[in-house]
Amino acid sequence: MANKVGDSSQGEAWGSHLEFILSCIGYCVGLGNVWRFPYLAYENGGGVFFIPYFLMLFLVGIPLFYTELGMGQYSGEGTLGVWKCFPCAKGLGYGMIVVSFYVMIYYNVVIAWSVHYLFSGMQKILPWTKCNEWWNTATTKVSFKARESRRVLQVEDNFTDGGGLYGLGNNGPVLGDLVGCNLFAWILVFACLCKGVQSVGKVVYVTATFPYLVLLILVIFGATLEGAGDGIKFYLKPDITKLSDPKVWSTAASQIFFSLGVSFGGLMVMSSYNKFSNNIMRDTFIVALGNCFTSIFAGFGVFSFLGHMAFKNCMSVDSVVRSGPGLAFIAYPEAMGLLPASQLFSVLFFIMLITLGLDSQFAFVDILIAGLLDEFPNLRYGWRRTLTVSIFCFVGFLLGFPILTKGGLYWFKFVDNYSAYYGLLLLALFLSLSVHFGYNFMSEKFRFLKNMKEMNGNMNIVLKCYFYACWYLLTPGMIIFIIAMAFSGYAPIWGDDGEPSDVYPEWSNGLAMTMSMSPIIISVPYFLISLIYTRGKSRLPCDSFKSKEEKEAATTTQDSKF
């Protein structure tokens, strides 16, 4: 039950510690664990990839994860309110909100696709296993035409409109069935968020645990399929030479970074509902390690089915391996269509995708809501909160329309690739520097460390040495390395040939970089203006930053006077 503790804090609390853990696991364990990690492992050295993957977990993931949980729990504030600790860096909170806003739009569309597949698969014969249907007949024609002439013109299908390819400049008609599915998905999100953690805390008992049940079923059953062993060999086959490739290390760090959801602000928001004395050190290791082992475990299920599909079609495994939506909505459904109980596995798989997506989507939307409530506390309760949640959901629904067109997949790839990449990496760097160098030293020496001690007592010497080394050297150093690798590998959105196309016109590259860098475009000016304002002061103005306990005590004292 949500407990009011005064408008100075978030005013809500998890019903139990388990609700918090499940919410964090649901937030971190998402679609990327199923459709991205297994492919990255296969592509970057197989089993050898686990070495840089876990090393980056301890150098980058866990230190940042603990930092965000600590700031949120200590202050009891959301994405904006938490920066009372270091007002100059409040722009980072706005940057986090911007990133989460972008992501929530296309992430809900993935849930909508899953809903569409779920209901479409409730037929005697799975529709995507049939030949000569309008969607695959047209695709075959386009593929043949493209190979023959290298340019597709005047072909009536779901990729062209008779005057060129669908793309960012030519979306094509809106697909009504997907709009309905997207509306249904947003209604689910609204229903689970309208009462805050009081409702989310109960929903996660299902949404955070059901994917593990399905994954277990898929892994066990997948292991019994013909060809499964070949698929798993491709997944784990070690290539020790990959360890000398810096891109493999950068890929491992990036995957840890995005998989744990650091620098989006979601961890701050969720931990702000915790009890002040909750052991966040323990929670950090439980969630972070659980997330990584889930990714590895999911890979066994994915490659078992891909190995079976390759066996049935007399193909090599590498010819059927895909990443991203192609794995979740093409390769994996095709593999399930080869099974005797295909309808059952189809239903389980797409319910799993829906629950994986919903957990993360709850957090992305809640980041926006919490940021607004930090600034306008009078919106926290009653009909005002319900109206606030409904407005965010309605705006997200409307902005998803370009992705729900016949050319919408290109918009999906566009937003997926550029909404949370360069800008988010820079946010992570500034987050680390702002908390561990700015707030920790410029307001009061070792203030962050004192805050953590107030909540959980002293760290043991091993953990203290580990976190000190990461916070003050290794983590910012590794983030700088990731950023350097990301910018060095930059290529225009339209492809390797460096030329605009009908799909991605010339203006799309400028839009992509503007969107990707917008969190920093917001954050840096705010930081500079704040520094100018505080110039000459011996201490930065962070007196308003108080712990959750201090605010609750002040509220209790004030109430006792009446």
Per-residue model confidence as pLDDT tens for the chain (562 residues)? 333 333 334 468 888 999 999 999 999 998 888 888 988 888 888 889 999 999 999 999 999 999 999 999 998 888 998 988 888 888 999 999 999 999 999 999 999 999 999 988 887 777 776 666 655 555 444 443 333 333 332 333 444 454 456 788 788 889 999 999 999 999 999 998 888 787 888 899 999 999 999 999 989 998 998 999 999 998 998 889 999 888 899 889 888 988 999 999 999 999 999 999 999 999 999 999 999 999 999 999 989 988 988 888 888 888 887 777 778 787 888 887 777 778 888 889 999 999 999 999 999 999 999 899 888 888 887 888 899 999 999 999 999 999 999 888 889 988 988 888 888 899 999 999 999 988 877 767 788 888 999 998 888 999 999 999 999 999 999 999 989 988 887 877 765 555 566 678 888 888 988 999 999 998 888 888 877 776 545 444 455 566 777 766 665 555 544 4
d(CA 458, CA 448): 13
* Contact predicate 108/185, CB 8 Å: yes
Look up residue 196 and give its two tokens.
């805050």
* CA pseudo-torsion sign 269, 9, 390, 98: negative
| Per-residue CA distances from 357 to 58, 285, 460 (Å) | 26, 23, 37
In this prediction the pTM is 0.87
Q: Which residues are annotated as a binding site?
A: 26, 29, 33, 259, 291, 356, 359-360
* Contact predicate 353/33, CB 8 Å: no
Q: Which residues are annotated as a binding site for Na(+)?
A: 26, 29, 33, 259, 291, 356, 359-360
CATH class for the region spanning 17-125+144-541: mainly alpha
* Contact predicate 473/295, CB 8 Å: no
Look up residue 387 and give its two tokens.
């109206």
Q: Which residues of 484-523 are buried (b: 16+ CB within 10 A; e: fewer)?
A: ebeeeeeebbbeeeeebbbbbbeebbeebbebbbbbbebb
* Contact predicate 222/309, CB 8 Å: no
Q: What is the DSSP letter of 261?
A: T
Q: Environment class of residue 474 by beta-carbon count within 10 Å: exposed (0-12), middle (13-18) or buried (19+)?
A: middle
Look up residue 436 and give its two tokens.
């561990």
Where in the chain are the domains?
17-125+144-541
Distance, CA of 113 to chain centre: 17
Per-residue three-class SS string for 334-392? HHHCCCCCHHHHHHHHHHHHHHHHHHHHHHHHHHHHHHHHHHCHHHCCHHHHHHHHHHH
List all residues 6 or more positions away from 349 whose beta carbon is below 8 Å from its beta carbon.
214, 218, 332, 333, 336
* Contact predicate 129/337, CB 8 Å: yes
Vertex 164 angle, CA 160 and 166, to 5°: 50
